[in-house]
Amino acid sequence: MSDNYYKDIILDGICSDIKKARDNTILAGSVILTLSAIDAMSFLAMPLGQKKVHRRDYVNWVEKYMKTDPKQPYQYKGIDLYGARCGIVHRYGVKSRLSEKGQCKIFAYHNGSEHIYNPKVDGNFVLISIRRFTNDFFDAVEEFLQDMIIDKNVKSRVDSRILGLFRVAKNKNNIYNLKS
């Protein structure tokens, strides 16, 4: 598989779209794209032979790759991000079935630079910095791609699925095998 596939689809596609949305103050869009992009990375990383991404795949990818500055008052938890993803994708809201059952935190988002979390005030509520969240995702993608270079098993999983990810052809001469 050509390195151009990874660059074109993941970096120039997924990550670039998130950055463009964020930098053009399409903030809700950048959050939705990032939470969905974690789904895409989970799809690429799931075990060979598995056809559908499950909650555990999303949670595992977040736990392994999504890190923020250790000085931040909130550190990502896979179940929290999965709950945020469910709330926004299924309800276009901040609550999900998981948060209603007390199984994950509720996220709201702001345009500042730091996550805001004070468990003494409300241990179930986190105000997520969109810039920090998206940058942390970009770092997670870089680490995932590095793992792909090092680990042939990860690379084979990614190679078997990458052409199934959404992408926009730059021109009619730049169309990959769209039947995959």
pLDDT per position as a tens digit, 52-101? 999 999 999 999 999 999 999 999 999 999 999 999 999 999 999 999 99
- The residue range of the domain holding 93 is 3-166
- Please choose, from the candidates 116, 100, 97, 119, the residue with its C-alpha nearest in 3D space to the C-alpha of residue 108: 116
Beta bridge partners of 89: none
Q: Specify if 174 maps to a domain.
A: no
Q: Specify if 155 maps to a domain.
A: yes
Q: Specify if 178 maps to a domain.
A: no
Q: Specify if 138 maps to a domain.
A: yes
Q: What percent of the chain has pLDDT over 90?
A: 84
Amino acid at 175: I
Q: Specify if 82 maps to a domain.
A: yes
Q: What is the pTM of this model?
A: 0.92
- What is the number of structural domains in the chain? 1
